[in-house]
Amino acid sequence: MNKKIFTLSFMTVLLSSACSTMTPARYSISVDNNLELKKYGGSKIQLSALNATGSFDANCRLMGPIQASDGMTIPEFVRKAFNDEFKFAEVYGDSGVKLSGNLTKVAFSSSAALTNGWWEFALELESSNGKSMTVETHYDFKSGFDAITACNQTAQALGPAVQDLIKKAVTQPEFAALVK
């Protein structure tokens, strides 16, 4: 009888600890990015396509995958974030400069130095005017010790990490050449 109770208890614990998907909040506009993009007033910009050629391991510890909000992939999340920033700065438009991009690196850690984490991105942008640029970012954050906290913190850090990526892209001098 003890063996049956142990087995039943073990199976209950095992099934209740199955992996779950960690999802961040929706992207929110950055004031700094908005101020920078306002400099391009009169321009019409759109990130029309964004692919990912680098491999991306979405699994966070043994908790499960990190997935962008609203069921989007990471490239879809980043593309929507760029376009949301363009819209808020009133520089978004269907007619005008079309940007396309390629995420060559998407990576994260939820256990750097045990309780810290980071997101890294490498992005290539190409304009319909023939100009191109690349940008790489490394965004650090506090994750936590236990897997549940660390993976949730990693998911929640996606938005600020993408804000950082956009800021680095739009503040580079090469960005101005893309949108002319």
Contact yes or no for 142/152 (Cβ under 8 A): no
The per-residue pLDDT for range 6-37, each reduced to its tens digit, is 554 444 443 344 457 778 889 999 999 999 99
Structural domains for the chain: 21-178 (3.40.50)
Q: Which residues have CB under 8 Å from 30's CB, separation 6+?
A: 85, 163, 166, 167
Q: How far is residue 161's CA from residue 165's CA, in Å, rounded to a whole number? A: 6
The per-residue pLDDT for range 83-133, each reduced to its tens digit, is 999 999 999 999 999 999 999 999 999 998 889 999 999 999 999 999 999
Cα-Cα-Cα-Cα dihedral sign, residues 51, 56, 58, 60: negative
Residue 64: its pLDDT value, please?
87
**pTM of the full structure:** 0.86
